[in-house]
Structure 1
Amino acid sequence: MNDCQLYLITPESLDPAAFAPRLAEALDAGPVAAVQLRLKNVPDDAIRHAVDVLQPIAHARNVAFILNDRPDLAVACGCDGAHVGMDDGDVATARRILGADLQLGVSCYDSRDMALRAGEAGADYVAFGAFFSSPSKETEVRADPALLTWWSSMIELPVVAIGGITPDNCGTLVRAGADFLSVISAVWSHPEGPGAGVRAMNTAIAAAEDA
């Protein structure tokens, strides 16, 4: 079983200045592999501003900073990569925009075919989900943990699990072979703050790996 790591996604709406200390608290609380800035329905200038404020916090802690949906802005803003869905444009085009050095992640929902095609088109990792109901994003897709096991046993490309993941339910996904667990509410909505959320997730990941 691979070591599983935490992959944080930001809320869809945030005030960068107010969110900055929350991000720092989360990243100071324990290992995090990446932060994905996922802003929806905001102008490009707002995205650029958020990157300017938040990316240095991640980079100061050696955490990758990934931009959702927009490989063009990821390049322009000096991000570490971009994450796209299958309805956000052609994967091969995103690969060309990002070049060889930046990371490209692709949401593949519950589709083996989508994931295989994404890998062939140059994705650096694929994401499956939702595995559980999520307060952050409504989705009709419900992926089976067996999909993670199939992928990790057949394909070397890293795989991310997403969708309603909490310390209480993540063990199944860790044991199934997820390389990364992508979380939103479990950290940002934790009643004791995002640092406590990161610690709780990492404790649960470690427990599942030791089981």
Structure 2
Amino acid sequence: MQYRSKTLKPKQKKIQATALKELCDRTNVQLIINDDIELSKHLDAFGVHLGKYDDNVDKARKLLGPDKCIGVSCYNSLNRVKEAYEKQVDYIALGAFFPTKTKPNAPRATLDILRQARSIGNIPMVAIGGITLENIETLKNEQINCIALVSSLFNSDNIELTAKQFCTILKSWNL
């Protein structure tokens, strides 16, 4: 589970993230904090996810320690993939693979970019951006390790059913 808030004030973010951390702990779910190393450290979260304009991996590793998970958004940039691999991050996120209302101006990643990224090194990869029940099969044979979902779940008429449908698909992929 990733906590991401771009608009709330720090105090509000801390309140929300603390409540989410408590829920994640009760349900054995690992929590990643987006963009905020200090909040991740404060909560003793599983890790942090960093984008292009966030703090750097070296700072995150120094503050969080060697055992915390650090992920990096690489968008559609093989240079960012190479940098992330050299910094020994725990995973990278590539995308948007499909149009998305969550980030309408997000750079588009292609399956070719994903394949080239795979050739850079053995690093877990997350596919993100516009993934739906209708297009997820496009990613099936691409050796991704995880998918990120926002709109497909939260715009669904039945979030629980949609989540179960995604889980069934992903279990069949043996991720």
1:109–1:143 Cα contact (<8 Å) kept: yes
Paired residues, what number?
Answer: 174
2:129–2:149 CA contact under 8 A, matched in 1: yes
Alignment RMSD (CA, Å): 1.7
Q: Classify 1:50/1:56 alpha carbon distance in 2 versus 1 (closer, same or farther; 3 Å).
A: same
Residue identity in the other structure for 1:173? L
Is 1:187–1:196's contact at 8 Å kept on the other side of the alignment? no
Unmatched tracts of structure 1, length 5 or more = 1-34
Percent of aligned positions that are identical? 30
Return 66-75 or 133-142, whichever deviates more: 133-142
Q: How does 1:39-188 map to 2 (within 5 A)?
A: 39-188=5-154
Contact 2:85 2:121 (8 Å CA) reproduced: no
- Of structures 1 and 2, the one scoring higher in RCO (CA 8 A, sep 6+) is 1
Q: How far did residue 66 of structure 1 move?
A: 0.5
Aligned to 1:118, the other structure's residue is in SS state helix
Moved over 6 A (4+): none
Measure how far apart 1:140 and its partner are.
4.1
| TM superposition score normalised by structure 1 | 0.77
1:89 aligns to what SS in structure 2? coil
**Residue of structure 1 in register with 2:162 after alignment:** 197
* Offset of residue 88 of structure 1: 0.8
- SS at the partner of 2:140? helix
Q: Contact between 1:160 and 1:181, CA under 8 Å: does it hold in 2? A: yes
* 1:122-149 Cα distance to aligned partner (Å, 9 max, x none): 3110000000011211224110022223
Within-5 A mapping of 1:11-26: none
